[in-house]
Amino acid sequence: MTFPAGTVSGRSTVLTAPPLDDGGYGVVTEETPFHPLDHTWPDQPGDIGFLQVNDIEQRVVDCLTGGMPVGGDGGIAVEDAGWMPGEGVLLLGDDIPARRGDAGWHWLVVHVVERAVPVQAEVELVVNAERRRAFSAGHTACHLMALSLNAALASRWREGAPRTDGLGHPDFDTLAIMSSRIVPHGSRDVYRIGRSLQEDGFTAEGLAEALPEITARLNSLLAGWIAVDAPVRIDVPSPELSARRIWHCELPGGTAEIPCGGTHLRRSGELSSIIADLELSPEGDELVVETKAAEVE
Ligand SMILES: [Zn+2]
């Protein structure tokens, strides 16, 4: 998989391309620059774009994570040199009864196209780069927001929070996150402020009243992190889709690391602003953060 490095085009060989239940065909290639939606943590949408086979261009209308059971009934054989497309059942998204990375499964990037593509064909793969970039900007802004939220809420924790982030703050983001959705140039993150978080040492008392001050602190930190033009990179331990990739950002105060399956900008200074808006539910048990970023012209 080449998308973690920011790649948006490539050439590869079709391994399998079965018809899909919902129409169209699911093309799996040896290598791809396309980012698929992750069925386990569906934060960043799949890339769209096109693939070209023998001068015929087809739209890639979606890109999903696929799972195929290893060996056994309907499995596919894996040789040292790669793998052989077999009779295997290709399962998509919610139909996969396992989490990404679980043993016993091949984890595949599935390009959804409208017409059949021959197996073994050489294809040109081209991602819609403008759309990808908008998601990369949103994803980088989302992680920076998470770190600044941790910093802005740090004083609400008793000693001994169960985990801290790379900047040394209690990791509110990881401990409370319920869902994260990356949108073009932004994100929407939902946090649960429940009993277990409070048992971990978080003080929810007076949070509603303190929200304007927390928001101001968070946004001023974000402005500062853009101003230092911090380098961003993704560590890729191996090329498989299921590899545990880690997002790194060198910020004043430390290097932050967040496990991440998405795509990113290369520097925080590629953004001209990141503004987060915080909203607490009337019951005080759910915090929604809407993040909006703008790119440098
Ligand atoms: Zn991420």
Edge to edge, what strands does the sheet with 254-259 contain? 232-235, 246-251, 254-259
Q: Say how many Å lie between the CA of residue 70 and the centre of ligand 1.
A: 28
Neighbouring-strand partners of residue 19: 25
User: What's the pLDDT score for residue 74?
Assistant: 44
Q: Say how many Å lie between the CA of residue 160 and the centre of ligand 1.
A: 26
* C-beta neighbour count of 158 within 10 angstroms: 11
Q: Say how many Å lie between the CA of residue 94 and the centre of ligand 1.
A: 20
Q: Say how many Å lie between the CA of residue 104 and the centre of ligand 1.
A: 25
Q: Say how many Å lie between the CA of residue 234 and the centre of ligand 1.
A: 10
Domain regions of the chain by residue span: 3-127, 130-295
User: What's the pLDDT score for residue 103?
Assistant: 84
62 φ/ψ sector (left φ>0, alpha ψ -120 to 50, else beta): beta
User: What's the pLDDT score for residue 77?
Assistant: 42
pTM of the model as a whole: 0.94
Which CATH fold topology does 130-295 show? Threonyl-tRNA Synthetase; Chain A, domain 2 (3.30.980)
Q: How far apart are CA 234 and CA 259, in angstroms?
A: 9
Q: How far apart are CA 110 and CA 122, in angstroms?
A: 16
Q: Say how many Å lie between the CA of residue 49 and the centre of ligand 1.
A: 22
pLDDT digit string (tens) for 218-270?
999 999 999 999 999 999 999 889 899 999 999 999 999 999 999 999 999 99
* C-beta neighbour count of 70 within 10 angstroms: 15
Q: How far is CA 258 from CA 7, 202, 233, 250, in A?
A: 21, 21, 11, 12
Q: Say how many Å lie between the CA of residue 87 and the centre of ligand 1.
A: 34
pLDDT at 176 over 90: yes
Q: Say how many Å lie between the CA of residue 56 and the centre of ligand 1.
A: 34
User: What's the pLDDT score for residue 29?
Assistant: 93
Q: Say how many Å lie between the CA of residue 106 and the centre of ligand 1.
A: 22
The rounded percent of the chain whose pLDDT value lies above 70 is: 94
Q: How far is CA 278 from CA 160, 172, 191, 222, 281, in A?
A: 26, 14, 11, 14, 10
Give the count of alpha carbons within 13 A of 24, CB side only: 15
Q: Say how many Å lie between the CA of residue 43 and the centre of ligand 1.
A: 8
Q: How far apart are CA 278 and CA 73, in angstroms?
A: 50
Q: Say how many Å lie between the CA of residue 75 and the centre of ligand 1.
A: 31
pLDDT digit string (tens) for 91-114?
898 888 888 888 888 889 999 999
Contact between 129 and 8 under an 8 Å Cβ cutoff? The reply is yes
User: What's the pLDDT score for residue 89?
Assistant: 76
